[in-house]
Amino acid sequence: MEINDAIDMPRLQWYPGHMRKAERLVKENLKLVDMVVELLDARIPMSSANPVLREIVAGRPRLVVLNKSDLAEPTATRAWVQYFASQDIVAVPVDAVKGRGIKELVQEIQRLAVPRTEKLAKHGAKPRAARCMILGIPNVGKSSLINRLSGGARTKVENRPGVTRAKQWIRIGAQLELLDMPGILWPKFEDAQAALRLAFTGAISDTVYDVGGVVLQLLRALRTDYPAALCQRYELSDAIPDGIELLEEIGRRRGCLVRGGRIDYEKAEQMILTDFRSGRLGRVTLDPLPEADTDDTNVGMR
C-alpha cells in the first residue's frame, strides 16, 4: 500500500529537545543493564522501530519483542521472526495483555545476558542476576509488558548507588532483574508511510491528524491486502468499492446515519478505527518484510 492521496499526515509530538532528553535518559540507564529489550508492534515491526536505536544501545545485546502479536497475522509474525533471525536478532512474539510468549521471553533474556554477566564475574564482580531494560515508542506496550513480567506484584529490590529513587528494579525469578522504568523512544516521524501506519494502530493520538484521511488510507490498505476481512466484517460483496464509496457503504451497512439517511462520516470512521485496533477486523500485519537486496543491515533498528 502506498500513499497516493494528499492527506494531512500525522504530526508526531516529538521535537529535538524531546529526542535529546529521551536519548540521554536511555543512555544513562543503559549503564545499569546487561541488555535491552526492544518492543515493536507485531503489526508494524518496521514502522514502530526507533530510527536510531542501534546507535543508542551502543553494542549492548538486544532482543526484539513483537508485542500485540494477538492482533497481527500469525504467518506474517513467523516470517518477521525469521527475518530478525537472519539479522542475528532474537525476536519473540508476545501478547503482553494475556501473557502469551512471556515464558519464552524470560528464557531468551536470560540466555542473551549470560555472556556479559559471566564477563563481569571473570573481572571479579559478584555473580548476579541478568539486568535488562525495556525500550520502545509510546503505546507499544512497555508498561503492559513490565506489569506482566512482574506478575502484577512488583518485588522491589534495594536502591542502588547511581539509581534515583524513581528507578527501581523488579526481580523476575532468581536470574533476572528488570529496570522498572521503560525507555521511551520516538518513532520514525520523518517516514510518511510509517507515520500513517502508526496512526492506524493508534500509536499516534487521533487528535493530531486528519482522521478522515487516515481512515481512507486504512481502508485502501485493507482492501488491497485483507479484502476478505473487510467483506466478512461489513458484509460487503466481492466487488468492494474504493475510496469514499467504501466508507459510505460501510457506514450504510452499519447504520452510521444521520437524519435524512445521510452517512455519519465521523461515526463510520471511528467505528472502523476501533474495529481495526481491537482486532475485530481480524489479525492484520501492515508492514511487509524488507526486500532482501535493499536491506544490508537490520531494518528493525534503523
The nearest distance, CB 147 to ligand G4P, in angstroms, is: 8
The nearest distance, CB 185 to ligand G4P, in angstroms, is: 10
Show Cβ contacts of residue 220 under 8 Å, excluding neighbours closer than 6 positions.
1, 242, 243
In the bound state with ligand G4P, the residue whose beta carbon lies nearer, of 7 and 301, is 301
Separation CA 102–CA 111 (nearest Å): 14
> Rule CB under 6 A: which residues touch ligand G4P?
67-68, 70-71, 95-97, 136, 138-144, 182
In the bound state with ligand G4P, the residue whose beta carbon lies nearer, of 37 and 176, is 37
In the bound state with ligand G4P, the residue whose beta carbon lies nearer, of 65 and 130, is 65
In the bound state with ligand G4P, the residue whose beta carbon lies nearer, of 72 and 215, is 72
In the bound state with ligand G4P, the residue whose beta carbon lies nearer, of 205 and 224, is 205
Exposed, middle or buried by CB within 10 Å (0-12, 13-18, 19+), for 208? Answer: middle
For the record, the C-alpha cell of 272 comes out as 472502523
For the record, the C-alpha cell of 19 comes out as 529526542
The nearest distance, CB 116 to ligand G4P, in angstroms, is: 25
The nearest distance, CB 77 to ligand G4P, in angstroms, is: 12
Question: Residues 63, 35: contact at Cβ < 8 Å?
Answer: yes
Q: Are strands 130-136 and 35-41 parallel, antiparallel or unpaired?
A: parallel
The nearest distance, CB 202 to ligand G4P, in angstroms, is: 7
Chain residue at closest Cβ approach to ligand G4P: 141
Residue type, 42: A
In the bound state with ligand G4P, the residue whose beta carbon lies nearer, of 68 and 220, is 68
| End-to-end CA, the chain | 21
The CB-side HSE value for 104 (13 A sphere, CA atoms) comes to: 14
The nearest distance, CB 92 to ligand G4P, in angstroms, is: 12
- If residue 274 lies in a helix (H) or strand (E), which one and from where to where? helix 265-278
